[in-house]
A and B are shown apart, each in its own frame.
Chain A
Amino acid sequence: MVKRALAIVLILITGYWLANALAQVPFGADKMLVGKYYLENVKDQTGAVNAVTAVVVNYRGLDTLGEVTVLFIAATGVAALLWRKKRERTAKSEGSVVLQTGSRLLLPFIMLFGAYIFIHGHLTPGGGFPGGATIATAFLMLYLAFREYEIPHKVFEPLEGLAGMSYVIVGLIGLAIGGYFLFDWIWQTWQLGHDNIGKLFSAGFIPIIYTLIGLKVGTELTGIVDNMVKEPKEGGQ
């Protein structure tokens, strides 16, 4: 009781202190110092219609590479901590026929939509992360509907690594061609798609990188699901 009261008082004090500071940053005031630059130059410099994508992949590409890495670490960490020699699914009951048939029918649509999201990252809201998460949802659905389902590990693990490696390689090609790591060589050196802004084949390496991120995020989240639904087998280590 005393503990809870103390905690509430402490939270109120912290909240008041933060609110006090926040009150000094007026909402809606023009703070577009760097933002304005992005909005004015995004089409010329990157070819993307979606400014968020351009910031995420081009201007602040290093952050995105870092976020992809964070997800990779999360998946690797889960796999390392749950590692056992023999593991298997322990679901008690099979899903109903309606659920199974429904998920069979839905699967290609979800996959297609996920791919659509990451391929059109430079044109519509979304991009690699939501697209990849959507694809992982499709696999999650399979895991929930079927008792025996398991992803093909031989394909998924190397694919995950390859997608990440390709991202770094794209960046390194930029270093070789343009002199800067993560330099958009397709747009700025080859100038491919310059008269195509707003259509699918534009925006330099953004669609390529978003496809790689989509694959990577999709395989990684699926891997985490796979690791978490399996339990050590009796007699296994």
Chain B
Amino acid sequence: MNPQYASLLIALPLFSAFLVPLIKRAGRKVILPYLTLVTLIQTGIAAWAFKEVYTTGQPIIVLAGGFQPPVGINLYIGHFAALFVLIIAIVSFFMAVFSMKAINVEPIDKYAMLFLLLMLGATGMIATGDIFNLFVFMEITAISAYALTGYNKTGEASEAAMKYIILGGIGSSFFLVGVALLYGSLGTLNLAQIAMLASKMNPTVAQAALALLVFGLAVEAELFPLNAWAPDAYQASPHSVTVMFSAFVVKAGLYAMVRIVYLFKDTPAFMGILNLILILGTLTVIIGELSALRQTNVKRMLAYSSIAQIGLIAVGFGVSTPQAVDAAVFHMVNHAIVKALMFLAVGYVAVTFGSPHIENFKGLGKRMPLTAFAITVGAISVIGIPLFNIFWSKFRLLLAALQVGKTGIVALILGASLVEAVYYFRLIHTIWFEGGGEKIEENLVLSIIMLLLVALIIIIGIYPETIWNIIQKAATDLYNVANYVKNVPLLGVSP
């Protein structure tokens, strides 16, 4: 098949979102099944692209408009992008199914449009090979995220959306100024060509531009001083949207940051920016874990825990040896699986009992045994206990930090796991050993989704080698910039 068909990954969600106002005519009931169908097709296309990239070993280069880069925009679906586009599509599909249960606030048609465009934005951010196009997709992601955060229209949700929109707006402007600086001094917007010309760039300009880009993306990537919006937004947004935030929106931001920073690998500006990412990541872990410790709202607790995990991933990228990047990408995948499961299960509890407050989790083991089981497996996995997936990524991260002799990071990872153990075991204790009650019939489809994710966690935990192969290829895609540049068919436009 023509590899250009991978552009359907962008075209399909767009087309389907524009189609919703017409679908609405057929009645409110068809909208959510329609959403599920579209995300299912998207999963199919993503699976095809994934298979294509991993069997041929070559990235798919989509040339928009048929113009070669850097004149036109290209999408670069390499090993990393293929893997994450697939994850985005699968999580979106699960959440479309969950939406049928979780979304009962009007207007459903607008929800479906925003949902599809949030998925589109994250897909585009990860697939694009052009820095301004990255900005456009970041705006698509961010603006649909603002609207979805405030979707429930409670005071709490409006406040969270307001915080998010202000911080996000400032971050985007920073990012745009950084892009302008880059374009001003290099005359190109294509990522591959930027990497080629990076060494010729004035170091002061490069440092300023990179710092602006990192700060701009840190809002989306939830790094410490700029993540104040995140816990509120996670708590107040619809449950299905929270899952999407945690499973892929934040990762798209983090990926974009790492992709851009690594383009400057051989320049003097690189070390300074890496240290900035390391510091931001470390602070994110510490603040996130300590804040999670005192929460009584389980969804908020998970939000802080999720932020802390993102900090760990950022630390991995900050260490920047091949082993550390491998581990960080592995942690990204594992975290996406585990947090998708946990926010889904907690969201389901909140839908059933009205709120995700810890009170409602008393005796959950007797009332909703399957959901309780899912939360327990997720919690144990996050702490990093052997035979579960996150153990392996944390372990690899530890080894990578030891290799470069950064004992501070080792202490950070172990300390974070200890704090996690405290609040997650408290939750598990509440679920299984307190309270009690009647058993409640659990939704069959949601149970199947939860069991699938649980199975995935345990399979990766027991046989990490199978996925490790994929992860290594994806991570190589990130840090092997020379290969990235070589794969993009640049037109002979040069200074």
Contacts and interface: CB of A to CB of B under 8 A. Distances in A.
A172 B17 CA distance: 15
Contact of A77 (B19, B144, B493): B144
Interface stretch (A106-114, A163-171, A191-199): A163-171
A94 interface: no
Interface in A61-105: 61-63, 65-67, 69-70, 72-74, 76-77, 79-81, 83, 85
Contacts of B207: 21
Interface in B1-58: 2, 4-5, 7, 10-11, 14-15, 17-22, 25
A179 B66 contact: yes
Contacts of B158: 81
A188 interface: yes
Given A70-B139, A180-B64, A181-B11, A25 B73 contact: no
Nearest to A184: B65
Given A21-B209, A61-B64, A76-B147, A181 B7 contact: yes
A72 B19 CA distance: 12
Contact of A21 (B4, B22, B187, B204): B204
Interface in A35-71: 35-38, 45, 58-63, 65-67, 69-70
A143 to B, nearest CB: 21
B463 interface: no
A69 B72 CA distance: 19
Contacts of B106: 83, 85
A6 interface: no
A8 B15 CA distance: 47
Contact of A179 (B4, B21, B151, B209): B4
Interface stretch (A118-126, A128-136, A144-152, A153-161): A153-161
B366 interface: no
A25 B181 contact: yes
B98 interface: no
B15 A178 contact: no
A168 B140 contact: no
A34 interface: yes
B188 A34 contact: yes
Interface string A2-36: 00000000000000011011101100000111111
Decide if the interface of chain A is mainly helix, strand, loop or mixed.
helix
Contacts of B17: 69, 72, 164
A37 B73 contact: no
A182 interface: yes
Contact of A34 (B151, B184, B187): B187
Interface string A185-205: 000100000000000000000
B22 A158 contact: yes
Given A34-B187, A58-B65, A77-B147, A168 B18 contact: yes
Interface stretch (B109-117, B222-230, B324-332, B414-422): B109-117
A168 B11 contact: yes
A225 B18 CA distance: 20
Interface residues of A, number: 58
Interface in B136-150: 136-137, 139-140, 143-144, 146-147, 150
Contact of B111 (A32, A34, A80): A80
B243 interface: no
A141 interface: no
Interface string B178-208: 0001011111110000000000001011011
A122 B309 CA distance: 50
Contact of B19 (A38, A165, A172): A165
B63 A63 contact: no
A66 B113 contact: no
Contacts of B136: 62-63, 66-67, 70
A77 B143 contact: yes
Contacts of A180: 4, 7, 62-66
A73 B147 contact: yes
A183 interface: yes
A232 to B, nearest CB: 11
A18 B19 CA distance: 44
A65 B140 CA distance: 11
A81 B150 contact: yes
B231 interface: no
B353 interface: no
A208 interface: no
A45 B67 CA distance: 10
A18 B494 CA distance: 27
B489 to A, nearest CB: 13
Nearest to B146: A77
B120 interface: yes
Contacts of A83: 106-107, 110, 153
B351 interface: no
B392 interface: no
B107 A178 contact: no
B193 to A, nearest CB: 8
Nearest to A63: B136
A140 interface: no
A162 interface: yes
B14 A65 contact: yes
A37 B190 CA distance: 14
B184 A33 contact: no
A164 B18 contact: yes
B318 interface: no
Contacts of B281: none
B22 A161 contact: yes
Given A18-B208, A59-B65, A70-B143, A32 B114 contact: no
The 4 closest A-B pairs by CB, nearest first: A77-B147, A33-B187, A21-B208, A181-B7
Interface of A: 17-18, 20-22, 24-25, 31-38, 45, 58-63, 65-67, 69-70, 72-74, 76-77, 79-81, 83, 85, 157-158, 160-162, 164-165, 168-169, 171-172, 174-175, 178-184, 188
13 contacts: A25-B185, A59-B65, A59-B67, A60-B64, A61-B65, A66-B133, A66-B140, A69-B17, A77-B114, A80-B107, A180-B64, A182-B64, A188-B66
Interface of B: 2, 4-5, 7, 10-11, 14-15, 17-22, 25, 62-67, 70-73, 106-107, 110-111, 113-114, 117, 120, 124, 132-133, 136-137, 139-140, 143-144, 146-147, 150-151, 153, 158, 161, 177, 181, 183-189, 202, 204-205, 207-209, 491, 493-495
